[in-house]
Amino acid sequence: MSARARLAAFAAVAVLVVVAVATYLLAARADRTAATDGAGSGRTAPAGVMPTGPRMLFRHMGTGADYGRLAAVPLDDPGGPRRLLADSCDRVHGTREHVLCVAPAEGVVPTWTAEVRSGSGEPVPLPLAGTPSRARLAPDGSYAATTTFVAGDSYAQGGFSTRTVVTRLRDGRSTDLEEFALVVDGDEVSPADRNYWGVTFAGDGDTFYVTVAFDRTTYLARGSLTSRRVETLRTDAECPSLSPDGTRVAYKKLGDRAPGDWRLAVLDLATGEETVLAERRGVDDQVEWLDDATVVYGLPGEGARAGEADVWAVPADGTGEPTLLVEQAWSPAVVR
Amino acid sequence: MYLSDRPRPQAGNAGGARGPSQGTRRVGSTVVLMGLVSLLTDISSEAVSAVLPLYLTAVVGLSPLAYGVVDGLYHGVSALVRILGGWLSDRADRPKWVAFAGYGLSALTKLALLPAQGFAAVSAVITVDRLGKGIRTAPRDAIIAASAPEESLGRAFGVHRALDTLGAALGPLVAFGVLVLVPGDYAAVFVTSFAAALLGLALLGLVVPDVRPRRGRPVPDGARTTAPVRPPAPPSWRRLADPSMRRLVAAAGLLGLLTISDGFLYLSLQARDDLAAQYFPLLFVGTNLAYFALAVPLGRLADRLGRARVLVGGHLFLLGAYVVAGGAVPGLAGTLTCLVLLGAFYAATDGVLPALTSTLVPAPVRATGIATTQTVVAVARFASSLLFGALWVGLGRGPAVLAVAGALALVVPLAWWLLRDVRAAGTPREVAP
């Protein structure tokens, strides 16, 4: 082939590739619109106000233009029609009065916003540094916590860095948990590589549970907001979630499995007894308690439903089997 | 732009013919073409990198920890196969087609991300992508080295690195542009990324000449049917063990040991500056902009002053960045200064190292030589991350950065001394004015 022929061949390939991609993208866009106009309307109630009464908030994960919208179902009919709300949230948590919504900010650069909205008063913005991963509200709405991961920062050690910030909603004051005193086996330590993630608040307005990791070990820890102290309880327990009655903590643990392949377990805080739950699949979520006997969590869809996720439920005592609770949903938050 | 339909004279001769007075002439078309191939490929890979944390955590459902492991794979794998790629390229005397294989492998992984589910699958796909990058890097630099006259190698690598960095900056914009068009559709990002990689691959396969460094010129199509070309001398690996090459490897390794990864420096910035924390994803864009702007000027400076001088001297920019990140200059001004210094450091070293290596090793083993110095630097930086991680834990952020800065201040003169012969030999002959 002469140089001219090669150039012509390249030009032909370039035109083909560009036209093919443009066609694909436009078709994908059209598909989304069609999905909303058609199938979507049958299964969703018209967009509207937040339902009252016991409910579950979540991120709607059905493919279509409503992908990522905040949605709600009544707790007595979680499989029934969902009500889509105006906001889009990546992660959501709620109390009767408040909704914590983490959402990508408008614009080309990947930044996020997180704010707590309530029926009365201005929304309270929460500080975010990096990609948000966990978000929780205290049951009484006094505090909010967010975890962001700042970066996979080193190519040694599979390193990453998280930042967990607790914000008092009354005045918007924020504290980075790394400023708290850290106590391990009775001794105060300050390892420079400590990372916190996954806060869960107790109902007393002071106690919280959180994951802290340093020196390649993860710990479940209990903290106090007033004394600004965090004390480790046990190893290999991440993203804790306190039961409504405050007696147990559910979390994910790795055991000797490969990184990323967690299983769910529940710890009885009084006896220290740990129960592994009946869910055999790998779960990476901060679970939520449906009631004192059941936990719920998100699992990504498989195969053709790769971009979607469903919310599953499993008994908290290690018995039974996981059941599908809400289809096309992620980041469940139970409001009682 | 003129394309290489005319036979290129042997690199060294072409340079002599042009002379220093034409120093502002454009670099050869092959260099620009390789730059465009890298630009398209970087758009492809950086588009995926930009959405990968989002995709893994929001869609596949991995946690930060698992993401960190994937990220480690992403960077760790390529150094290992780089020498293999260089060796294959020299052995076959076909850098273009070895590079093509590497680019092709990485392009395929963009499609493989579509059905990949779960941690193991995503890890496997990313590992293959990095294997492709490892294979292609040394032959790519060998093509550039063979396509530019020796006295403007610094500028040629500068042009290539500038285009490469531009692609890295455009990639995330392309990715987020696609996500604005079809929200939440990561498959569309992967398809677009595959298309960009395919364009780069077609440009390399169809338009870039088949440079044969051992024969000294590209083989025109159909040449094999005419009089046989003199059989090229087989590569002799012993020629890599030249004393000046050994000293370059030692100096580059020492300096690499004191090169903290960008991520750590960005973390130091965000730890003391809330603004840097908020705009963390933008920090690397700032570094890339500075790199893009300075790659050609510093490459030309290396041609004029001597590549070894600029390579070692460039580490003074890094020293400056450490001092700033260690706490010397607070606030936004400090953050911006640090990013510009980091960009200048890359501009003074990343392209200058292969340019310098090319002048120290003979053409038949050039790709292996380039791969060797680059791998030494990569391995040294990997060790540096481990060391610095330990220092960070022991001393805390600021003191750890300043301690490394102090060590670097001692090693720069040492490297300067190590390269004393190379400095003399590597200085272009016509540098008189």
In tens, the pLDDT along B171-188 reads 888 888 888 788 767 889
Average pLDDT over residues B281-291: 83
| The pLDDT of residue B327 is above 90 | no
Q: Rounded to two decimals, what is the model's pTM?
A: 0.70
Average pLDDT over residues B159-181: 89
Residue B182, chain A, CB below 8 Å: the answer is yes
Helix/strand/coil (H, E, C) string of chain B?
CCCCCCCCCCHHHHHHHHCHHHCCCCCCHHHHHHHHHHHHHHHHHHHHHHHHHHHHHHHHCCCHHHHHHHHHHHHHCHHHHHHHHHHHHHHHCCHHHHHHHHHHHHHHHHHHCCCCCHHHHHHHHHHHHHHHHHHHHHHHHHHHHHCCCHHHHHHHHHHHHHHHHHHHHHHHHHHHHHHHHCCCCHHHHHHHHHHHHHHHHHHHHHHCCCCCCCCCCCCCCCHHHCCCCCCCCCCCHHHHHCHHHHHHHHHHHHHHHCCCCHHHHHHHHHHHCHHHHHCHHHHHHHHHHHHHHHHHHHHHHHHHHCHHHHHHHCHHHHHHHHHHHHHHCCHHHHHHHHHHHHHHHHHHHCCHHHHHHHHHCCHHHHHHHHHHHHHHHHHHHHHHHHHHHHHHHHHCHHHHHHHHHHHHHHHHHHHHHHCHHHHHHHCCCCCCC
Q: Are the CB atoms for A133 and A150 separated by under 8 Å? A: no
Residue B394, chain A, CB below 8 Å: the answer is yes
pLDDT at B205: 94
Number of Cβ pairs < 8 A linking chain A and chain B: 214
> Which range, of A35-49, B38-52, B322-336, averages the lowest pLDDT?
A35-49
A53 token code pair? 């009464």
Average pLDDT over residues A158-167: 75
> Which range, of A164-168, A291-295, B2-6, averages the lowest pLDDT?
B2-6
- CB-closest option in B192, B221, B396 to A21: B192
Average pLDDT over residues B390-406: 84
pLDDT at B278: 60
Say which amino acid occupies B156: A
The confidence band for B280, taking pLDDT boundaries of 50, 70 and 90, is low
Contact assignment for A156 to B382 by CB distance below 8 Å: yes
Contact assignment for B393 to A130 by CB distance below 8 Å: no
Residue with the bigger pLDDT between A35 and B102: it is B102
pLDDT at B191: 93
Q: Collect all residues of chain B within an 8 Å Cβ-Cβ radius of residue A253.
A: none
| The pLDDT of residue B375 is above 50 | yes
pLDDT at B72: 55
- CB-closest option in B53, B117, B172 to A306: B117
| The pLDDT of residue A226 is above 90 | yes
Residue with the bigger pLDDT between A1 and B148: it is B148
| The pLDDT of residue B227 is above 80 | no
Say which amino acid occupies A4: R
Residue B48, chain A, CB below 8 Å: the answer is no
* Rg over CA atoms, chain B: 22
| The pLDDT of residue B346 is above 80 | yes
Average pLDDT over residues A206-220: 91
- CB-closest option in B53, B117, B182 to A131: B53
Sheet with A263-268, strands from edge to edge, namely: A238-242, A248-253, A263-268, A274-276
The confidence band for B64, taking pLDDT boundaries of 50, 70 and 90, is very low
Contact assignment for B277 to A150 by CB distance below 8 Å: yes
In tens, the pLDDT along A296-321 reads 999 887 766 666 789 999 999 999 99
To the nearest whole Å, the CA of B336 is away from the closest chain A CA by 18
pLDDT at A72: 93
pLDDT at B137: 93
Q: Are the CB atoms for B48 and B193 separated by under 8 Å? A: yes
Report the residue of B6, B51, B65 to disrupt the A interface, i.e. the one with the largest count of A CBs within 10 Å.
B65
Number of other residues whose CB lies within 10 A of the CB of residue B124: 14
B159 contacts: CB under 8 Å, gap ≥ 6: B27, B31, B32, B35, B295, B296, B299
High-pLDDT (> 70) share of chain B, %: 76
The confidence band for B232, taking pLDDT boundaries of 50, 70 and 90, is low
Q: Are the CB atoms for B351 and B161 separated by under 8 Å? A: yes
The confidence band for B51, taking pLDDT boundaries of 50, 70 and 90, is confident
